[in-house]
Structure 1
C-alpha cells in the first residue's frame, strides 16, 4: 500500500497542477548549478522534513488552518525565496543558513497545502504512518527529479550558453517571483472576497 502512496507523492509533485510547489523548488534551486547538487539535496530534504511535520499534524487533525490562508501563504513563500535570490550580492551561494531556514520553515507552510489532498486519499484509514511515509518519500523523489532538471538546465545555460551565472539567477528568480506574485494577488482576493 505504501508503494501506491510513494507513486502518488512523486506524481503529485511532477504534475503541473502542483505548479506552486514546482515554483518553490525552482526558487530554492535557482542559484545553484549541477556541481552544487549536494547542497541542493540537503535543502530539498530540509523542505521535505518541514512539510512532513505539518502534513502529519494536519492529517491527524492536530492543527487546522483555513485553506484560503494557506493558498495565500504558499505563493508568499515563493516570492520571499525568489526575492532573496534577486537581492543576493554574490554570484555563487556562500552562506546557506538562510536558504536552509527558508526550506525548513516554508516547508511547514507547504505541508499544510498538501494535507487536504492526502486527507482525501487516506479517507478514514486508521494507520496513517506507512501511507504518510510513502507519500513523503514520493514527494522527495519528485522534488529531486525537478531539482535535477533545473540544475542541468542552469548548468547548460551558464557553462555552454555562456550566460553569466548572476544573469541566469536574476532571470529565473524574477520569472518565478512574477508568477508567484500573481498567485499572491489571487490569494488576497480569495481571503477577502
Structure 2
C-alpha cells in the first residue's frame, strides 16, 4: 500500500511541478474556454487526458512502444500551443464554449504525447517493480487529482474575471490563450529537434 501512495504522490507532483509546467499550461489552455456552468465537460476532458497519458505510460512500461524522446519533448509544447490556438479559432466563429467532440479527440492524442514524454523517467522508477499495474494506477490517480486542482483553479480565475471583474468571456479566453502561446514559444524553440 505504501508503494501505491508513493505513485499517487508522484503523479500529483508530476502535474503540479512548477519547474516542469507543461502540464499546467496544457490544462490551463484546455480549461480556459469553460466556466463553472460547464465544469463537467472540462473534467471529462481532464479525465480523457489522464487515461491517454497513462495509456502511453503503460505502452512504454510494458515495452510495447518506444518513441524518440526528442520529438516528444518538442511535441509537448506543440500540443499546448495548438490547444490555445484552437481556443482563439473558436472565438473567430463566435464560440465561447467548446464541444467535447473534436476537443476530446485532440485531448486524447495530446495525452498520449505527454505520457510518452514522462515514460523514460517512469520506467526507471518502475525498473524494480514486479507488478507494474499498481504503480500505473497509483500514478493515474495522482494525475487525476492534480488535474482536478488545476482545472478548479482555472475555473476560479475565470469566475473572478468574468463574474467579479465583468470581463467579457471572449476577451478573457483570447487574453489567456495568447498568454499561454507566448509562454509556450520559448519551450518550442528550446525543444526543437535539430
- TM-score between the two structures when normalised by the length of structure 1: 0.94
1:174 aligns to what? 178
Q: CA deviation at 1:172?
A: 0.6
2:31 aligns to what? 29
How many positions carry a matched residue from both structures? Answer: 190
- Structure 1, 117-126 or 164-173: larger mean CA deviation: 117-126
Q: CA deviation at 1:17?
A: 2.2
Q: State the superposition RMSD in angstroms.
A: 1.2
Alignment of 1:92-103 (within 5 A): 92-103=96-107
Q: Which aligned segments of 4 or more residues in structure 1 are displaced greater than 6 angstroms?
A: none
The 8 Å contact of residues 91 and 165 in structure 1, kept in 2 or not, is answered as: no
Runs of 5+ consecutive residues of structure 1 not aligned to the other structure = none
The 8 Å contact of residues 54 and 140 in structure 2, kept in 1 or not, is answered as: yes
2:108 aligns to what? 104
Matched residues in 2 for 1:145 and 1:43: separation?
A: 14
Matched residues in 1 for 2:133 and 2:98: separation?
A: 37
1:55 aligns to what? 57
The 8 Å contact of residues 76 and 181 in structure 1, kept in 2 or not, is answered as: no
The 8 Å contact of residues 51 and 111 in structure 1, kept in 2 or not, is answered as: yes
Matched residues in 2 for 1:21 and 1:69: separation?
A: 17
Matched residues in 2 for 1:26 and 1:90: separation?
A: 21
- TM-score between the two structures when normalised by the length of structure 2: 0.94
Matched residues in 1 for 2:150 and 2:167: separation?
A: 21
1:85 aligns to what? 87
Q: CA deviation at 1:96?
A: 2.4
Matched residues in 1 for 2:114 and 2:98: separation?
A: 26
Matched residues in 2 for 1:177 and 1:130: separation?
A: 36
Q: CA deviation at 1:68?
A: 0.9
**Which string of whole-angstrom CA distances, capped at 9 and with x for unpartnered residues, describes residues 87-139 of structure 1?**
11234315321111121111110110121221122123121100110001101
